Structure 1
Amino acid sequence: MLLEWWSGTECVIHTDPRAYPKYGKENAIVVLNHKFEIDFLCGWSLAERFGVLGGSKVLAKKELAYVPIIGWMWYFTEMVFCTRRWEQDRKTVSESLLHLRDYPEKYFFLIHCEGTRFTEKKHQISMQVAQAKGLPSLKHHLLPRTKGFAITVRSLRNVVSAVYDCTLNFRNNENPTLLGVLNGKKYHADLYVRRIPLGEVPEDEDRCAAWLHKLYQEKVGATGWALHHLRVLFTRQLWCFGTSGS
């Protein structure tokens, strides 16, 4: 892996040991926060740890299909691309997702529900939208876009077993970049994974949207992580393992 082998980056995955035996043995929708430039590499690391990297997919903006090498590779491995204009995406995304119902290998389907990477300016605009809609403010995330998530759940229901709620953070206020990774710079990541059975996600589109908003309200922001997870450690077994899997 570019992330761990080339740059030596440590990506420690924290999860409930009761959920661990299911990872890599079921199809899952991975909901990952979108704050860092190398989020997708950490998502690849998660899939690689559990032996499903070869079959895993992502819902990505269409512009990425034109990126040399990576974009072409994604196109030929049947990644799902969207324009972020729902009128255009409804049909194309639905058709792409339906192909995954018969996919022969286990896979993780990664979706960044925030739609774009977090910046302070985007966050300010996003919270204005949240206020206008009567939704609670999110300190460390953008307001999730619900339509892509809802259509993913609807298209893959009875094929996908769970949603993996994943929240990524880097220690010591690190701001990792792809260039830094390519230059061999080492970063220190924590990826918190919570397994939620897909049966707990409502089928109705409006209720599914409300469920996703609640999920993002529950996500713990970077500044509250240490205290929160110390509490979690003593209240429900939390298991963590690093690059070596130990």
Structure 2
Amino acid sequence: MVALLEWWSGTECTLYTDPESYPFYGKENAIVILNHNFEIDFLCGWTFCERFGVLGSSKVLAKKELAYVPVIGWMWYFLEIVFCKRKWEEDHKTVVQSLQRLKDYLENFWFLLYCEGTRFTQKKHKISMEVAEKKGLRKLKYHLLPRTKGFCVTVQHLRGTVTAVYDSTLNFRNNQIPTLIGVLNGKKYHADLYVRRIPLDSIPENETECAIWLHKLYQEKDELQEKYSLTGCFPSPTLTVKLVK
């Protein structure tokens, strides 16, 4: 799938990060938070993993339905991808057991999370912001409200095994709206991926405080998206690296 993006469609991916964080990538276990606005954002996430040699050991918290997708679903099953039904009462035990197994994993791994739980659409965004209003939370313009339980449990059970959270924000230049069909047809896109490394020990251990921290992070991500929307680029100073050349 990564080869399809890189070589068939010729899509370019550029990483924006700070020089102090760059040496850690691929050298430590990490939780990677991804925004979920585009149809092919998972491919760009995999490209990020592949660039730093952890694609084979990357894990994803994915919805159960994906386990039944031919080839990809079967491959993910044998790679110990964590599948959930998005019903926390049923998923909690499964997720915890899967996270506990990662503590003995022999290779460096990245655990990829879409904290919004589903891909952004205007309909879902309207419903999500109605929930935000009821809960007294700041409304977001470019994201859905993050689902905090999965993130907090992940941080709780991987503390001591994972050393950092990589907050990743993806955009496409010139207001492109990429599609998987476009990639299959060989259409070229240009992705910009902004990554911040956040030491895990700076994230609160208490579940309530951890949830507040995650909401604040998404407010910051929303501000970053606004700047990109207005300027067409991420703020500097940053180190820029071509993930796909």
Give TM-score scaled by structure 1 length. 0.95
- Secondary structure in 1 matching 2:73: helix
The aligned counterpart of 1:88 is: 90
The 1:244/1:126 distance shift into structure 2, 3 A limit, reads closer
The 5 A counterparts of 1:1-246 are 1-219=3-221, 220=223, 222-225=225-228, 232-233=235-236, 237-243=237-243
Q: CA RMSD in A?
A: 1.5
Alpha-carbon distance in structure 1 between the residues aligned to 2:160 and 2:8: 38
Moved over 6 A (4+): 228-231
Partners of 1:171 and 1:190 within 8 A in 2: yes
Structure 2 gap ranges (5+): none
Residue 185 of structure 1 aligns to a residue whose secondary structure is coil
Distance between the aligned counterparts of 2:5 and 2:118, measured in 1? 22
Given that 2:174 and 2:232 are in contact with CA atoms closer than 8 Å, whether structure 1 keeps it comes out as no
The TM-score normalised by the length of structure 2 is 0.95
Q: Which amino acid aligns with 1:34?
A: H
| Aligned partners of 1:52 and 1:107 also within 8 Å | yes
Distance 1:111 1:230, change over 3 A: closer
In 1: Cα distance, 2:206 partner to 2:232 partner? 32
- Aligned residue identity for 1:166: S
- CA separation of 1:21/1:68 partners in 2, compared to 1, >3 Å: closer, same or farther? same
Moved more, 221-230 or 151-160: 221-230
Pick which of 61-70 and 223-232 moved more: 223-232
Aligned residue pair count: 242
CA distance in 1, matches of 2:25, 2:234: 24
Secondary structure of 1:71's counterpart equals helix
Q: Point out where structure 1 has 5 or more consecutive residues left out of the alignment.
A: none
Using a 3 Å threshold, how does the CA distance of structure 1 residues 84 and 244 change in structure 2: closer, same or farther? closer
Instruction: Kindly state the Cα deviation for residue 232 of structure 1 after the two structures are TM-superposed.
Output: 3.5
Give the Cα separation in 2 of the matches to 1:25 and 1:70: 26
Task: Indicate conservation of the 8 Å contact 1:139/1:221, yes or no.
Answer: no
Local SS of the residue matching 1:102: coil
Give the Cα separation in 1 of the matches to 2:229 and 2:144. Answer: 21
Kindly state the Cα deviation for residue 184 of structure 1 after the two structures are TM-superposed.
1.0
Q: Distance in 2 between matches of 1:120 and 1:126?
A: 10
